[in-house]
Amino acid sequence: QVMLVESGGGLVQAGGSLRLSCVASGRTITRSVMAWFRQAPGKEREFVAAMSGNGVAIFYGDSVKGRCTISRDNAKNTVYLQMNSLKPEDTAVYYCAQGGGLYPSRSSTDYVYWGQGTQVTVSS
User: What pLDDT score was predicted for residue 1?
Assistant: 83
DSSP codes, the chain: --EEEEE--EEEETT--EEEEEEEESS--TT--EEEEEE-TTS--EEEEEE-TTS--EEE-TTTTTTEEEEEEGGGTEEEEEE-S--GGG-EEEEEEEESSSS--S-GGGEEEE---EEEEEE-
Instruction: Count CB neighbours of 82 within 10 A.
Output: 15
Per-residue model confidence as pLDDT tens digits over 43-94: 999 999 999 998 899 999 999 999 999 999 999 999 999 999 999 999 999 9
Per-residue model confidence as pLDDT tens digits over 107-116: 999 999 999 9
Lowest mean pLDDT of 38-42, 67-71, 75-79, 96-100, name the range: 96-100
Question: Strand 10-13 vs strand 118-123: parallel, antiparallel, or unpaired?
Answer: parallel
